[in-house]
Amino acid sequence: MLLYGVIVLSPLLLVRFARPMTDHGFVFTVGKNLALVGFTILALQFVVSARFPWVERPFGLNVLFYFHKAMAVIASLLLLSHPMLLALGGNEWSLIFGPQVIWHIWLGRIALLIILVHVWLATFRLVVKMNYETWRFVHNLGAVLILPLGFYHSWKAGGDLQLPWMKTLWAALLLTAVASYFRHRVLRPVLLRRYPYQVTEVRREAEGVWTITLVPPEGVPRFDYLPGQFHFLTFQRAPNLPVEEHPWTISSSPTAPGVLCSTIKESGDFTVSIGKTHPGDTALVDGPYGRFSYVLHPHERELVFIAAGIGITPLMSMLRHIRDTRAERSVILLYANTREEDIAFRDELADMERAGATSLKVVHVLSKPSDAWEGERGRLNDEHIKRCAGPELAPRAFYVCGPSMFTQQTIQTLRKARVPARRIHFERFDL
Ligand SMILES: Cc1cc2nc3c(=O)[nH]c(=O)nc-3n(C[C@H](O)[C@H](O)[C@H](O)COP(=O)(O)OP(=O)(O)OC[C@H]3O[C@@H](n4cnc5c(N)ncnc54)[C@H](O)[C@@H]3O)c2cc1C
């Protein structure tokens, strides 16, 4: 983070060092500086989103994606303020509104327009019901246009860019962004295509939920991962089925030799076809990613796992790992579903509980149970949590995974019960 901060502020430091005096007014100078910082953030966005292991590992990909979104908003605000402050400080409103400006000013205006479209789409994608693939295409296209437009505009228009050190920094930023993009969009897919994994089993786990088992190509070891981590899979199946890269938890435990499993729920335009995957199909596997894993918190012993629906997958991977390694943990699993038919891994969980190799208590909570259901009923709430985990929640560690709203509400409940934030771990199923 420190390195990121230093890089973002480096153009300001360089300009201050190389050109301590300026004959521009304060407002104008701030306007100029906002553009320098804004463009630097934009260039670094390519590094943040390129899935470099050394960038991902300390934070987890989900956190990086939220950081990417937050920095996009900050960069957009800085870059949109830039022409306003220049116009205000230099009394030159033609910069914004005038039709007769030099063409590299037009390039800057086009870049700002693309930024506005980007921000609007990122905010309202779900409202205007734009599907994820279309949004991603527009997002990627916009990103590769903004960078050269912004670069050329600043190179030509920016007075500070006449300084040799600034020219060097700008060229380095452009090169870094291009190299990151090339590595992520070109090199990575080529390398993944060389070692496709093979589907060996497709098993129905519950209604509309399938577990796919994959093995690496012969002679290639399966990569190592932590229980609870996820990977991106690109299935290559019958020609009429879609080929898209999606993130899925690795629901198997790393203790299962030589295989990777993902348990996938039919929930949208891609996953609706997941049951049509067959043994013999292949998949490109990119992973592992994420930091949602109990092994990263070895001092926590009393765990409460809270899952809703398909959010069980990372918790299942951890439970299998605890079972196989006989890790000294006591776990209470609260598992919310709508109906009995929706419960995935029901038999395996019951076996784990019975075997007693580790202390595990499983509590199923159903929101629409049949009359015969004798277990917990209703939407999983603080009453269920306190009844099953005991009134004293604060000393325990919580692992929460489910739909965004469920996860958010559960975290609020736990915080109200004075569970420290450092002992609430969660995974969001959206990037
Ligand atoms: C870290 C992580 C772990 C996950 N683990 C599991 C799991 O174990 N089992 C499971 O069933 N689901 C899991 N998901 C959710 C799964 O990725 C989405 O349900 C799936 O991508 C939806 O695809 P769709 O096109 O069928 O649905 P849609 O209805 O088209 O999309 C629903 C939402 O899923 C997200 N999404 C869609 N396509 C993509 C994509 N190509 N890349 C990234 N996000 C996308 C978008 O937020 C979109 O709004 C996980 C998601 C994440 C981020």
Q: Is the pLDDT of residue 430 over 90?
A: no
Q: What angle do CA 287, 293, 296 make, to 5 degrees?
A: 105
Q: Are 132 and 224 members of one domain?
A: no
Q: Are 140 and 250 members of one domain?
A: no
Residue 102: band (very low, low, confident or very high) from pLDDT cuts 50, 70, 90: confident
Q: Ligand 1, closest atom to CA 272? A: 26
Q: Is 244 in the pocket of ligand 1 (CB under 6 A)?
A: yes
Q: Percent of the chain, pLDDT > 90? A: 79
Q: Decide: 163 and 15 in contact? Cβ < 8 Å.
A: yes
Quote the domain boundaries for residue 15: 2-193
Strand partners, 428: 402
Segment 399-417, tens digit of pLDDT: 999 999 999 999 999 999 8
CATH number, domain of 259, equals 2.40.30.10
Q: What angle do CA 394, 297, 68 make, to 5 degrees?
A: 100
Of these ranges, 9-13, 23-27, 74-78, the one predicted with the greatest mean pLDDT is 74-78
End-to-end CA distance of the chain: 20
Q: Is 189 in the pocket of ligand 1 (CB under 6 A)?
A: no
Q: Are 332 and 248 members of one domain?
A: no
Per-residue model confidence (pLDDT) at position 357: 61
Q: Is the pLDDT of residue 21 over 70?
A: no
Per-residue model confidence (pLDDT) at position 20: 64
Residue nearest ligand 1's atom 37 by CA: 132
Q: Are 157 and 217 members of one domain?
A: no
Nearest to 270 by CA among 296, 247, 300: 247
Mean pLDDT (whole number) for 329-355: 95
Residue 37: band (very low, low, confident or very high) from pLDDT cuts 50, 70, 90: very high
Q: Are 107 and 163 members of one domain?
A: yes
CATH number, domain of 179, equals 1.20.120
Q: Ligand 1, closest atom to CA 271? A: 26
Q: Is 132 in the pocket of ligand 1 (CB under 6 A)?
A: yes
The angle, 0 to 180 degrees and rounded to 10, between the axes of the packed helices 312-325 and 346-355 is 30
Average pLDDT, the chain: 93
Q: Are 411 and 314 members of one domain?
A: yes
Mean pLDDT (whole number) for 236-261: 96
CATH number, domain of 314, equals 3.40.50.80
Q: Is the pLDDT of residue 194 over 80?
A: yes
Residues 6+ apart with CB under 8 A from 354: none
Q: Are 242 and 325 members of one domain?
A: no
Nearest to 201 by CA among 242, 271, 252, 268: 252
Q: Is the pLDDT of residue 391 over 90?
A: no
Q: Is the pLDDT of residue 230 over 70?
A: yes
**Least-confidence region, from 149-153, 266-270, 312-316, 391-395:** 391-395
Residue nearest ligand 1's atom 42 by CA: 246
Q: Is the pLDDT of residue 367 over 90?
A: yes
Answer with the one of 271, 289, 307 that is the final residue of a domain: 289
Mean pLDDT (whole number) for 255-275: 96
Q: Are 183 and 43 members of one domain?
A: yes
Q: Are 164 and 211 members of one domain?
A: no
209-215 and 260-265 beta bridge pairing: antiparallel
Residues 6+ apart with CB under 8 A from 259: 200, 213, 214, 215, 222, 252
Please state, in angstroms and rounded to a whole number, the distance separating the CA atoms of residues 426 and 410: 10
Q: How far is the CA of 64 from the centre of ligand 1 (A)?
A: 17
Answer with the one of 289, 313, 332 that is the final residue of a domain: 289
Q: How far is the CA of 429 from the centre of ligand 1 (A)?
A: 6
Per-residue model confidence (pLDDT) at position 138: 93
Residue nearest ligand 1's atom 21 by CA: 246
Residue 274: band (very low, low, confident or very high) from pLDDT cuts 50, 70, 90: very high
Residue 97: band (very low, low, confident or very high) from pLDDT cuts 50, 70, 90: confident
Segment 41-62, tens digit of pLDDT: 999 999 999 999 999 999 999 9
Domain count, the chain: 3
Residue 94: band (very low, low, confident or very high) from pLDDT cuts 50, 70, 90: confident
Answer with the one of 193, 221, 246 that is the final residue of a domain: 193
Q: Is 270 in the pocket of ligand 1 (CB under 6 A)?
A: yes
Q: How far is the CA of 248 from the centre of ligand 1 (A)?
A: 7
Q: Is 63 in the pocket of ligand 1 (CB under 6 A)?
A: no
Q: Are 326 and 300 members of one domain?
A: yes
Q: Is 264 in the pocket of ligand 1 (CB under 6 A)?
A: yes
DSSP H helical ranges for 183-216:
188-194
Q: Is the pLDDT of residue 424 over 70?
A: yes
Q: Decide: 233 and 210 in contact? Cβ < 8 Å.
A: no
| DSSP states along 350-367 | HHHHHH-SSEEEEEEEES
Per-residue model confidence (pLDDT) at position 160: 86
Residue 2: band (very low, low, confident or very high) from pLDDT cuts 50, 70, 90: confident
Q: How far is the CA of 168 from the centre of ligand 1 (A)?
A: 41
> What six digits make up the tokens of 234?
């690109």
